[in-house]
Amino acid sequence: MSEANCVTCGGTVALPNDVEVGEIVDCGSCGTELEVVGVDPVELDEAPDLAEDWGE
């Protein structure tokens, strides 16, 4: 388990060991949806908004 800081509130976000670029995680402190944009080192950004035609 690794950790990174939320880009919105600065809180600590726990990440699985096999975290992937492109994976979406939630900040447990402020609830912001975050996207993993780098894994070495782990880097987070705010996840893009839902587009109108997203989904299966």
- Whether residue 34 contacts residue 26, with contact meaning beta carbons closer than 8 Å, is answered with yes
Output the smallest distance, CB 26 to other proteins, in A: 13
Q: State which of residues 35, 39, 43, 46 lies at the interface with other proteins (CB under 8 A).
A: 35
Output the smallest distance, CB 47 to other proteins, in A: 8
For residue 48, which amino acid is it?
A: P
Positions in 4-33 near other proteins (CB under 8 A): 18, 20-24
Q: How many CA atoms lie within 13 A of 27 on its CB side?
A: 20
β-pairing verdict for 42-46 and 12-15: unpaired
Rule CB under 8 A: is residue 1 a binding residue for other proteins?
no
